[in-house]
Amino acid sequence: MCDTLVAMPSETAGGAVLFGKNSDREPNEAHHLLIVPAADHPEGSMVRCTYRSIPQAAHTCAVLLAKPSWIWGAEMGTNEHGVVIGNEALFTRIPPAKGDELIGMDLLRLALERGRTAREALEVITGLLKEYSQGGNCGFTRPFYYQNSFLIADPTDAWVLETAGREWAAEHVQGIRSISNAITIQREWDEASPGLVDFALEQRWVKSREEFSFAEAYSDNLYTRFSDARKRQSCTTRLLHETKGQLTALTVMEILRTHIHNEPAGWVPYHALVGADVCMHAGYGPVRINQTTGSMVSQLTAETPVHWLTGTAAPCTSLFKPVWLDAGLPDTGPVPGKTYTPGSLWWEHERVHRGWLMDYLYWSERFTPERDALEAEFYAGAQQLQGAPVEDRRAYSEQCFRRAAELEAQWLAQIQSETRPKMARFYYLQAWKGFNALAKMPEN
């Protein structure tokens, strides 16, 4: 389950387009940051995606991807032209194809590699849907099939694209917009596939063309309900409205850290067996089996867009660090594997994250002020470097990643040095005992 949002220049404090996304995946599904350079390709070349190959474009743009490490595509990312895209799972009445298909994350990467504007990226995805449709297993340890939606933005434009098989509808964003794991486009859209309404009429999902609503006709209500998508999308929309006109990248980071189920004594991740939050935490199955494994915030300007990446799980326990695509990606260690990978940014953070979870309120009171202070310092420095030479921005990005790692090392030392009772409930402890065993996590 995921959440993605955007605010156009009219709604932000500095006149930039602001984009944010949480990628929710399985607890041991490592998140990987990757830059792929621009390239020219010989005529007749093929590109191997997650499960299948398709003809390669003559030229592909440089891209920065935030992705499950085992998948060719990505949950979110950007390209050298300032296009950003976030992907969401959708559950519809059209059964997802279970063969070797293009998955939604493949479509996202292909659009970033081939689209120089948000509009072009939209056309890339809809063209690929027409030719190849979509499907394929997106599950890490268990089969998981779904359709897809996308929020696509660039420094001046943004679109919501929601799909079901080869059918789709697109909405041109005005002001603010958020999406989650549910179809949100209903009776009004700006563009759509030619057969969108006719297919629903043929399937008798709607009685007449006049009554047609994309969300009502195509949604699988059971899976959509269990995802808590409408509640999460309502939450992010409300938070964007409450701060519109004053929105900054820091505001979007805080929205991505939102826990909906606030309690008088303070929110903790181990009280509920069901439910989903914007900042998602896995728990005891079979419903709460995913968590936020990586987060991204983009500040899109015509000059030098800056992207804020955690590269690590649970934004409430992570720091957002600045990255400029043209300045490169700081060293994040070896590519994270399916089990604990020493030196990997994602897996080293898991030692902090999983220790923090066992006494969430205690460690949050100690670590959150330090996180916020350092992040605010990163943000202020990055604003001063907008338009600065690439060497200066590269050095600053590397410094921020290094200082974030040093702070997290201090947190881990505190967690290891203090003997604290595990405040989490029995079933939650058992769930994480299982996750840790599968990941071969070292003892804290």
Which residues are identified as catalytic? 2
> Residue 89: enclosing H or E segment and its boundaries?
strand 84-90
Please list, in sequence order, all residues whose beta carbon lies within 8 angstroms of the beta carbon of residue 396, skipping any fewer than 6 positions away.
Answer: 322, 381, 382, 385
At 170, which helix (H) or strand (E)? strand 167-172
Q: Do the Cβ atoms of 158 and 118 come closer than 8 Å?
A: yes
Cα-based distances in Å from 133 to 8, 70, 156, 372, 400:
30, 22, 29, 43, 41
Instruction: Return phi, psi of residue 399, to 5°.
Output: -65, -45
Do you find a cis peptide bond into 286, omega within 30 degrees of 0?
yes
Of 375, 389, 136, the closest CA to residue 257 belongs to: 375
Q: CA 22, 24, 30, 36 torsion: positive or negative?
A: negative
The answer to whether 213 and 186 are in contact (CB under 8 A) is: yes
| CA dist., res. 69 & res. 30, Å (int) | 6
Residue 356 phi/psi, 5° resolution? -60, -40
